[in-house]
Chains A and B, each alone.
Chain A
């Protein structure tokens, strides 16, 4: 049932075609397809396909970005329908992201935000030049699981340490995990400032966030 439609959904993500993603999502509502089925059997496999093609070198960053944006376009259509049915897509985690104070670079942060969002995380993007207290406030207000702090410059990466310290001072650590990224950021730096992880790229950031959420779930169970 609806196999053609599900295939078209997968294809819309693989093609990075926002219009097709929106259209197939609307079609799902018209034909009464369960939106959770549309997401899990239509769009998510499309995104996984793009992710695996990226990893194998057959697809590139623009393919990923457009796939993620198509995914988000489909979700924008399906979310009200989920609400209407009192259904919820299982949110894999809530992530607050931003670029540190004094730094206005956002490409990396946007990539990570888009990929996290497309991968089922709820993302609050604070933008660039974000003061530590804004990270703290947003983490508290949004009940964040993870705070992602980006810095491109060697001169601003020290701001990542300040965010970790501010979250700790506000009593939000270690409950709220901190992940850091940006060109000068290394595993050693992440460890030095007490962050919970770092990633080289957006695909790695999704894997890292997923791992941290699994760890958190494990810790809660244990």
Chain B
């Protein structure tokens, strides 16, 4: 059996949906974009003064056309991230404004070179099925910051990418870049490489950018991932269950807009809710209550047959320290037991403000262990133990059995050197490094071992050319993040 975490009994799950549907009627959802409002009105919603009151029928019809599963494809055309397939997969969190400097341990503004390093580290870690546009590039003007992040990921990775647009126009430019990479808009829709995070604004509001992204992505056939962020006690009811209801209402209204724009377009029931810390006013992403809201809303989404996503494996610690390990590990375990399709957040510190390549390395171990946990107790041998005892003989020579050699690699997750299990003496003799020091070495080794992606040179050149034009448009001198290797690829 696969171990699972269930936080809502069936009756409570049904009540969540009932109240979410009630919220869609009263107070309704603010919709700050004319076409989204028009789509809802034409479908039967009562739209007045920027507020849409959406009847259940509209929501049910939209839910009926959402694909139950779909994939994000790597550059070789393999379905590398499979939503709705029962897998739990992970990607680095986004979008930080800082990185943890491994030398000074300061949080300093992130630059293009930092994003490149993060991508190259994540590229070599199997724990990450996808990349993300993990940090803003402080050396690039904000008006083109979103497409620059995507540019650097496309030029440094073959994995699928979780991204998002900062503006309506630049989102379209990003779709153009992805279409070139895929071999055309049809190829992109058939085998999408990217999913775009699209955020409702809590409570119960869809901004112009959010609405436009839903509509434009639906029509482009590129998956949208709703990142609903009820903030329990701040921009949502203080109860965890109240925030789960609000999350459902925000996502249901998003699905309605999205499916009305193009029925059948792929969309994910995702989010990044948090409790509000009542001392500091911050949004702790590593709090267990945050993880509980996540697991509960994912259960609601899965109950509707929808692909799911959440934000866990991040920590609010400022360093890759004991708090970071604790929060990230239980985040990974709760997400895995909760059966969430894609889990963003690894590498993140400081309420999602700071990324750390070293933390990505440590988190990869927590993720691998969490995935081992959900594989559960397996029965790969005919008898559970008696045949093994017979084979091992009276001395109990289990270590010498062929079955031991054959099965230990699946029975056990084999951690990297980041997880210290040697004797104290061996550890001390080898330099007495802690997990962060190990992670630093491993991150550097991964960067050194990184290989340029298999991007078609013509496509790379065309993508770089788009970026070059955009850079010129905002007066950016140079092409931050494009070093010799990347330019050679382009």
Across the interface, do A155 and B278 meet the contact criterion of CB distance under 8 Å? Answer: no
Check B145 for interface membership: any CB of A closer than 8 A.
yes
Check A168 for interface membership: any CB of B closer than 8 A.
no
Q: How far is the CA of A107 from the CA of B234 in the complex (A)?
A: 7
Q: A104-B205, A104-B207, A155-B142 are in contact. Are A184 and B281 (CB under 8 A)?
A: no
Our count of residue pairs bridging A and B at CB distance below 8 angstroms stands at 44
Please give, as numbers and ranges, the residues of chain B lying within 8 Å of A32 by CB-CB distance. none
Q: A104-B205, A183-B351 are in contact. Are A155 and B145 (CB under 8 A)?
A: yes
Q: How far is the CA of A108 from the CA of B281 in the complex (A)?
A: 8
Please give, as numbers and ranges, the residues of chain A lying within 8 Å of B97 by CB-CB distance. 154, 184
Q: A183-B353, A201-B281 are in contact. Are A62 and B136 (CB under 8 A)?
A: no
Q: How far is the CA of A69 from the CA of B201 in the complex (A)?
A: 25
Q: How far is the CA of A193 from the CA of B72 in the complex (A)?
A: 40
Q: Which of A57, A104, A111 contacts B279 (CB 8 A)?
A: A57
Q: A107-B235, A154-B97, A155-B142 are in contact. Are A61 and B281 (CB under 8 A)?
A: yes
Across the interface, do A62 and B233 meet the contact criterion of CB distance under 8 Å? Answer: yes
CB of A44 to closest CB in B, whole Å: 23
Check A202 for interface membership: any CB of B closer than 8 A.
yes
Please give, as numbers and ranges, the residues of chain A lying within 8 Å of B136 by CB-CB distance. 154
Across the interface, do A60 and B231 meet the contact criterion of CB distance under 8 Å? Answer: no
Nearest opposing residue in chain B for A159, CB measure: B142
CB of B98 to closest CB in A, whole Å: 9
Check B95 for interface membership: any CB of A closer than 8 A.
yes
Report A58-91 residues with CB < 8 Å from chain B CB. Answer: 60-62
Q: How far is the CA of A104 from the CA of B206 in the complex (A)?
A: 10
Check A92 for interface membership: any CB of B closer than 8 A.
no
Please give, as numbers and ranges, the residues of chain A lying within 8 Å of B201 by CB-CB distance. 104-105
Across the interface, do B281 and A154 meet the contact criterion of CB distance under 8 Å? Answer: no
> Which B residues are within 8 Å of any A CB, using their own CB?
32, 95, 97, 109, 136, 142, 145-146, 166-167, 201, 205, 207, 209, 231, 233-235, 276, 278-283, 351, 353
Report 27 cross-chain contacts, Cβ distance below 8 Å, ordered by A residue. Answer: A57-B279, A60-B278, A60-B279, A61-B233, A61-B276, A61-B278, A61-B279, A61-B281, A62-B233, A102-B209, A104-B32, A104-B205, A104-B207, A105-B201, A105-B235, A107-B281, A111-B281, A154-B136, A154-B142, A155-B145, A155-B166, A155-B167, A183-B282, A183-B353, A184-B97, A201-B280, A201-B281
